[in-house]
Amino acid sequence: MSTNQLDKKSQAWSALFSEPMSELVKRYTASVFFDKRLWKADIQGSLAHAEMLQVQGLISAADFAAIQKGMTQITDEIASGQFEWKLDLEDVHLNIEARLTQLVGDAGKRLHTGRSRNDQVATDVRLWLRGEVDEIGVLLTELQKALVDVAEQNADVILPGFTHLQVAQPVAFGHHLLAYVEMFARDAERMVDLRRRINRLPLGSAALAGTSYPLDRERVARTLGFEGVSQNSLDAVSDRDFAIEFTAAASLLMVHVSRLSEELILWMSQSFGFIDLADRFCTGSSIMPQKKNPDVPELARGKTGRVVGHLMGLITLMKGQPLAYNKDNQEDKEPLFDTVDTLKDTLRIFAEMAAGITVKPEAMERAARKGYATATDLADYLVKKGLPFRDAHEVVAHAVKDAIAAGVDLSELPLDKLKAYNPAIEQDVYEVLSLRGSLNARNLLGGTAPAQVRAQVARHRARLA
Ligand code: ARG
């Protein structure tokens, strides 16, 4: 076997084969043009494996030094775009190994001792995803901070709260935004939790059954910063639960982004007119000169479908697979890569967009004045005067019906008219019927009173610091 055999022959395993692969099959089975993205993790994993092989006396110190030297050069070549990726070499692993062997000879050929691409790729994907999850965590914090800032500035701004998209009760705009901060906080928690299950080392499982070499798996785990080693080789090479979990968490995160997007789109419409988004997040129309379209939230809403699609793809990928590794698993990468890219871009752009939002408090308050948003407050007022809640509800329904017929708000009915519904109603009712009074009254944990919004802002700031 010549040093460059892996590079020269068409496939790494071809001694057994009597005919070459067709170009179509090569293209169909190769993954290098997408999995080359794992190159850093692949080299990192190989170096940790090689170091352990040397400590265990399975390769010499000279071999390990040669491997290190070769990998340094390969790193430079890839980072500078000089590295020649070859379709014939199928995937990132064989491309790097072939180049290593070309550079350092037999030492390169010893690297794969006690290892298979099956445990290698599982290790690479875990290493790579762990890093991405950490970056996503940072981006989630940034987005939450941006939303908390806008929430604080708008702790006193009133807009109608909706149920069924019908005006329900007045809420603070800050309170509304903090609802999304709660969602993103849970998303961040989920990322931290699933990271623990990403962070286990498959290396040492070899192809499927483990290996006969005395590998020190714990040592490799320590070198690579894994929290533990996998406990069953069959499971380790075939498990993609971590990828599914991640994509599920990503899907839920995108659903939150999508709900926020839907609101931004509605709020920016002429019918609502609650907010404006900075021009740089919008586009115009090629035919209608007056248009400014909220493209970014619309696309985020659309891309949510794409990420949820990746979750469906990954979970379906696994459903019929027998143990252990199957080539199906190669199909885990593109959905995972695209999920990460979509998520990171979306989080970045939303943090920026949130910071640049223009709030229109008058329009919000005007809308809250429509739709009898303080009717519940009048019922609560009567309850405090001794009426059972169900009776109070009935009384107020009559008042609202009459007010609708007269085309006025409850607060515009004179006191003698209001007293006709119930004699307990007095002058102080007008404070209760005001939007601000309604808001301030909800001063309990989790409520929309501006004092509560400020308390929550402080809690979030401490949490996100
Ligand atoms: N490119 C493969 C993947 O992504 C690497 C593992 C291949 N293993 C094998 N036995 N063919 O899954």
The CATH number covering residue 141 comes to 1.20.200.10
Question: Which of 56, 80, 113 finishes a domain?
Answer: 113
Whether residues 192 and 308 fall in one domain:
yes
Decide if 460 is catalytic.
no
- The pLDDT tens digits for 56-71 are 999 999 999 999 999 9
What whole-number distance in Å separates Cα of residue 258 and Cα of residue 377? Answer: 32
Q: Active site includes 285? A: yes
pLDDT, tens digit (0-9, with 9 covering 90-100), for 115-168: 999 999 999 999 999 999 999 999 999 999 999 999 999 999 999 999 999 999
Question: In this structure, are 293 and 156 located in the same domain?
Answer: yes
CB 291 within 8 A of CB 284: yes
Distances in whole angstroms, Cα of residue 236 to Cα of each of 53, 199, 413, 462: 20, 12, 72, 39
| Best of 11, 16, 46, 118 for a ligand 1 pocket test (most atoms within 8 Å of beta carbon) | 118
**pLDDT at residue 360 greater than cutoff 50:** yes
For the cut 60, the answer to whether the pLDDT of residue 463 exceeds it is: yes
| Per-residue confidence (pLDDT) for residue 287, from 0 to 100 | 84
Q: Hey, what are 418's tokens?
A: 């209001």
pLDDT of 5 > 80? The answer is no
Residues 431 and 456 reside in one and the same domain: yes
Do 134 and 256 lie in one domain? The reply is: yes
Domain assignment present for 4: no
Please tell me what DSSP assigns to residue 269. Answer: S
Instruction: Give CA–CA dist 257/322, Å, rounded.
Output: 36
Q: Both 22 and 104 in a single domain?
A: yes
Domain hosting 16: range is 9-113
pLDDT computed for residue 18 by the predictor: 87
Split into its structural domains, the chain has a count of 3
Kindly give the number of the ligand 1 atom that is closest to the alpha carbon of 31.
1
2, part of any domain: no
pLDDT at 291: 87
| pLDDT in the model for residue 288 | 87
Q: Which residues line ligand 1 (CB under 6 A)?
A: 31, 35, 91, 117-118, 121, 325, 327, 329-330
Ligand 1 centre to CA of 29 (Å) is 10
Let me know: does 204 contact 114? Beta carbons within 8 Å.
yes
Looking at the structure, tell me whether residues 35 and 123 fall in a common domain: no
The DSSP string of 296-365 is HHHHHHHHHHHHHHHHHHHHHHHHTPPSS--GGGGGGHHHHHHHHHHHHHHHHHHHHHHHTPEE-HHHHH
Model confidence at 15, pLDDT cuts 50, 70, 90, reads: confident
pLDDT value, residue 3? 44
> Residue 267 falls within a domain, yes or no?
yes
Sign of the C-alpha dihedral computed for residues 402, 404, 410 and 412 taken in this order = negative
- Residue 192 DSSP SS3: helix
Question: What is the pLDDT of the chain when averaged over all its residues?
Answer: 95
pLDDT of residue 135: 98
Burial of 288 (0-12, 13-18, 19+ CB in 10 A): exposed
Q: What is the pLDDT of residue 145?
A: 98
pLDDT 10s digits, 441-450: 999 999 999 9
| DSSP per position, 118-180 | HHHHHHHHHHHHHHHHHHHHHHHHHHHHHHHHHHHHTSS-EEEEEETTEEEEEEEHHHHHHHH
Tokens 């979306």 -> residue: 346
Kindly report, residue by residue over 233-255, the tens digit of the pLDDT. Answer: 999 999 999 999 999 999 999 99
Nearest atom in ligand 1 to the alpha carbon of residue 207 is 10
Average pLDDT over residues 277-295: 90
pLDDT score of 14 more than 80: no
Mean pLDDT confidence for 175-190: 98
Same domain, 348 and 313: yes
pLDDT at residue 289, as a whole number: 86
* Cβ within 8 Å of residue 88, ≥6 positions away: 10, 11, 26
Cα separation of the two ends of the chain: 59
**Do 359 and 227 sit in the same domain of this protein?**
yes
Range 400-406 average pLDDT: 95
Confidence of residue 12 (pLDDT cuts 50, 70, 90): low
pLDDT at 370 over 70: yes
Question: What tens digit of pLDDT does each residue of 416-425 get?
Answer: 999 999 999 9
- Rounded distance between C-alpha atoms, residue 33 and residue 28, angstroms: 11
pLDDT-based confidence at residue 1 (cuts at 50, 70, 90): very low
pLDDT average, residue stretch 81-91: 97
Instruction: Give residue 16's pLDDT band: very low, low, confident or very high (50, 70, 90).
Output: confident
Which domain CATH number covers 91?
1.10.275.10
Which protein residue has the closest C-alpha to ligand 1 atom 3? 330
